[in-house]
Amino acid sequence: MTFNKLLRFSIALLLSLIGNQAVIVAHDSEAHDGDSKPASFSQVEQYRPTPLPDRVVLTWSDQPTNSIDITWRTDQSVGKPVVEYTCADDLLGDLRSEIPGLGRVTGVTQDFQSDLGACLMHSAQLRGLSPETMYAYRVGDGEHFSEWFQFRTASRSNDPFTFVYFGDAQNEVRSWWSRVVREANQHAPRAAFMLHAGDLVNRANQDADWGEWFGAGGWLNGMIPVIACPGNHEYQNGLSRHWRPQFAFPKNGPPGLEETAYWIDYQGARIISLNSNEKIEQQKSWLEAVLKDPQRPKWTFVTFHHPIFSAAKDRDNPTLRDAWREILEHNHVDLVLQGHDHAYARSGLGGPINLPEGIRKTKSNTVYVVSVSGPKMYSLQETWEVSRVASGGQLFQVIHVQPNQLRYEARLATGELYDAFKLKKDANGNNVLTEQFPHVDEIRR
């Protein structure tokens, strides 16, 4: 090689290295500028559907012992949606050969138009499953399939189980909520379900918001069933048009509130979702009937978005409190799990009250919780009796349920234990609460 050629080669190599370094520096700067979306990468491109299934999520519209509902999304090229499934034990052999006992169910397709474009929403119901059994499944069209997921059906007995409860995710979900849901999975990897107390997203009908929520939850949504109630941010001139196509919840609620107000029984517990955005009075008689059901299990957990007792400054929901509180406490609901206030507050069993004069403190079997899992925080107001509060911390709650007692844990996004108590039922079915505070100062910002 001549000297001139060697010189030109050396200069080109040096410029290439400098260029690569510049690219690296530019990418590093973009990653720390506080923007949750990649630069020059439009939302249309980022959340564009393809023939490959995405946004896979499990829910229940029927009995958790023998059924599961699966929904997912594709582009408009998919003709016939299918679910292939089998007992997970059947996938332990040579997977290059034919899978024994493989079931196949055809799904239902709905054309869907979001603000970012058209897509197809698919749903399928698996029925006649065996209780307490792990199944594997994948969704697709016969040519393009998702990865294989797994889930476990519920037991017919009151076996112990664990579930995770999240307050509002809502804002910057991709950036900040993702670490919370993933940390929750570290502490409850075999959770029976994930319960969301509303405001999963910020803008009810913005596909990018839902894309962030599904992206943050990722494969967990395809393996751990979701139970959710709508928050005010799932409403924009009515319920989000995304809600029913992507979540298949029970239709056992009051007329007009199907899949937003409903109940599910799971291994000795009844989980009730209420819709605190509309038709409050209409839900009273329905709620009373669900709670007075003679087949109601020992434990009862109720979730809705707007709190009976507010945790944030300048917030109060007297209409909701007047409508539902007496029903909840008179019928011995154990836990009321709420969101909305972007702060954390948890009562004991002393009968929490807002402070207007003349309201008598009463003994109650009901523990009220308000929590937040996303990054937006509000200042506290302490106008009701609380055992533990926080303002300025993302949290998730892990609840371990046994036949006669439960343990409640609230954890920070780092996994550190922030609040805990044990609730035990005595011989008369009344709750006895034992505080188990960790040695962690309350967060007040």
Tell me the pLDDT band of 349, cut-offs 50, 70 and 90.
confident
- Which of 188-197, 213-222, 289-298, 435-444 shows the lowest mean pLDDT across its residues? 435-444
Summary mean pLDDT of the chain: 89
**In CATH, what is the architecture of 46-152?**
Sandwich (2.60)
If one compares 272 and 351, the residue with the highest pLDDT of the two is: 272
Rounded Cα gap, residues 52 and 140, in angstroms:
7
pLDDT confidence of residue 380:
86
Q: What is the average pLDDT across 273-295?
A: 98
Cα distances from 86 to residues 126, 170, 252, in angstroms, run: 11, 36, 29
What CA–CA distance (Å, rounded) separates 230 from 270? 19
> Would you place residue 396 in the very low, low, confident or very high pLDDT band (cuts 50, 70, 90)?
very high
Q: Is the pLDDT of residue 371 over 50?
A: yes
Q: In which band, very low, low, confident or very high, does the pLDDT at 97 lie, cut at 50, 70 and 90?
A: confident
Residue 348 phi/psi, 5-degree rounding, is: -95, -145
CB 275 within 8 A of CB 257: yes
Residue 78: is its pLDDT beyond 50? yes
Which residue has tokens 């969101």? 339
Give the model's confidence band at 36: pLDDT under 50 very low, under 70 low, under 90 confident, else very high.
very low
**Which residues is 350 bridged to in the sheet?**
none
* pLDDT of amino acid 363: 62
Sequence ranges of the domains in the chain: 46-152, 161-444
Q: Residues 313, 284: contact at Cβ < 8 Å?
A: no
Angle at 256 between CA 269 and CA 245, to 5 degrees: 80
**% of the chain exceeding 70 in pLDDT:** 87
pTM: 0.88
pLDDT higher than threshold 50 for residue 381: yes
Q: What is the CATH number of domain 161-444?
A: 3.60.21.10
